[in-house]
Amino acid sequence: DQQVKQNSPSLSVQEGRISILNCDYTNSMFDYFLWYKKYPAEGPTFLISISSIKDKNEDGRFTVFLNKSAKHLSLHIVPSQPGDSAVYFCAASDPVGGGATNKLIFGTGTLLAVQP
């Protein structure tokens, strides 16, 4: 039972264009969402996060949008650069099921390829 879903295994965009990565979740109790970026042979690194009390958070070229009614969040990268090519994981924090543990539930990841 996948509580966090990334339905697109891969995405290819041209350099300079917008990349939109999507994530859906099933548990309405999730209160905090994060995006991690992972290069081959490296561990995931934190990219951007959003609290459930907000609907948008922006950091430079990266913006995360949260639609609680649809249980959907998306990561926008504008403009996309070849160095953005990586696997992107969506993750959610469950304050009820996870308790005071800071456990994260991850999606399956989306491989983004930015073509020069």
Cβ closest to other proteins, residue 83 vs residue 99: 99
Question: Cα dihedral sign for 104, 88, 54, 60?
Answer: positive
Least Å distance, CB 17 to other proteins, is: 26
Among the residue ranges 3-11, 14-22, 57-65, 66-74, the one whose residues contact other proteins (CB under 8 A): 3-11
Among the residue ranges 20-28, 54-62, 74-82, 85-93, the one whose residues contact other proteins (CB under 8 A): 85-93
Residues between 9 and 28 that touch other proteins (CB under 8 A) = 9
Tell me: does residue 113 bind other proteins (CB under 8 A): no
Strands (E), 1-116: 4-5, 10-14, 19-25, 32-38, 45-51, 56-59, 62-67, 72-77, 86-93, 104-106, 110-115
What span, in angstroms and rounded, lies between the C-alpha atoms of 88 and 47?
9
Residue from 10, 12, 28, 45 that binds other proteins (CB under 8 A)?
Answer: 45
Nearest Cα to 105, choosing from 92, 95, 89? 92
The residues binding other proteins (CB under 8 A) are: 4, 6, 9, 32, 34, 36, 41-46, 49, 89, 91, 93, 100-109
